Structure 1
Amino acid sequence: MNKLDAILHPIRFKIIQRFLDGKKRTAKTLAKEVDDIPQATLYRHLDTLVKTNILQVVEENQIRGTIEKVYALDLSAIQISPEEIQNISKEDHLQYFMFFTAQLTKEFEAYLQRETVDFARDGVGYRQRHFYLSDDELQQFMADLNKVFQKYSNYAPGEKRTLRLFSTVIMPGAERGEKNDEKHGSGN
């Protein structure tokens, strides 16, 4: 099984999301968090995630004659390289993108189901910005954005900190290449 199939399967993706906070979990604690996944199915998908090196067994505890495994996410394993991206068919890209947006919609729906929803306090928003960037400027923008993400992703959970979900989608707009040059000039 390739890494993308392992990551983007709906049940495995849901399991991976539970580990994004950096915490370790046992199957028992995970089962309480994803109680809509049958136990046998959960164990089967945990096994797949371990076999594909996305989850690691970081501890084994002896409990009444059985061994309880403690899992942790290998963050580097869920990074998808440019080479891996290039080798995916257009149909698979569309399928993965639809899955990504469906998961995002599900997260937003869960937020709206909370007893108190305060967009301003919670920092909730969704917007789309348009930029005219050369390929080099886009690469610099991405490098700058990654620096910001790196800075804040190292913050540990704390009493005054709330887990925040940031999602990004970057793609060219309707104009690209010659159409863009003709309409807006080709100068930098």
Structure 2
Amino acid sequence: MNKVEIIMHPVRFKIIQVFLDGLSKTAKKVATELKDVSQASLYRQLDALVKAGVLIITEENQIRGAIEKVYSLNVPSVNMTNDDVKELTKEEHLQYFLFFTAQITSDFETYLDIGDIDFLRDGVGYRQVALHLSDTEFLDYAKDLRKVYEKYTQNTPSSERTKRIISTITMPKKEGKAKHE
């Protein structure tokens, strides 16, 4: 199984999202955050993520005759590179992109289900902007954005902090001829 298949599996993707806060967690803790995933599926997918090197077992604690594992995310293993995706077909790219956007839609629906919606108070927003950038300017933009992410990913959870999911999609808007021409 390649890296894309490991990460983009629906249950494994949800598990990875649970670890994006940088904290170590037991399977029991992950289960409390993923109530819609059965226990058997959770343990099976945790095992698959460990075997793939996406999760690391950082502790093993003896609890009443059983061993409780503590997992952490191996962050470099979930960063997709050009080499990871360059062999995908157009159909595979579309499938993974649809899965990615469906997950964002699901997260947004969960937010809307809260009922007391206030975008300003909750820090919710979605927008699309077009930037006219040379290749060099785009690389500078991406580097600047990476620096911002790096600055704030060091924050650990606390009672004053809210976990916020930031999703970005970047692509060039290529003007071209229609296929039927």
Calculate the TM-score normalised by the size of structure 1.
0.89
Aligned counterparts, 1:1-188, within 5 A: 1-175=1-175
Give the residue type in structure 2 aligned to 1:64: R
**Aligned partners of 1:49 and 1:115: how far apart in 2?**
34
Give 5+ residue unaligned stretches, structure 2.
none
Q: How many residues align?
A: 177
**Aligned partners of 1:83 and 1:129: how far apart in 2?**
28
Give 5+ residue unaligned stretches, structure 1.
180-188
Q: CA RMSD in A?
A: 1.5
User: 1:108 Cα shift?
Assistant: 0.5
Higher relative contact order structure (alpha carbons within 8 Å, sequence separation ≥ 6): 2
User: 1:153 Cα shift?
Assistant: 1.5
SS of 1:162's equivalent? Answer: coil
**Aligned partners of 1:143 and 1:16: how far apart in 2?**
24
Which has the larger Rg? 1
**Aligned partners of 2:45 and 2:158: how far apart in 1?**
30
User: 1:116 Cα shift?
Assistant: 2.0
User: 1:174 Cα shift?
Assistant: 4.0
Identical aligned residues as a percent: 53
Give the residue type in structure 2 aligned to 1:165: I
**Aligned partners of 2:94 and 2:131: how far apart in 1?**
23
Calculate the TM-score normalised by the size of structure 2.
0.92
User: 1:29 Cα shift?
Assistant: 2.0
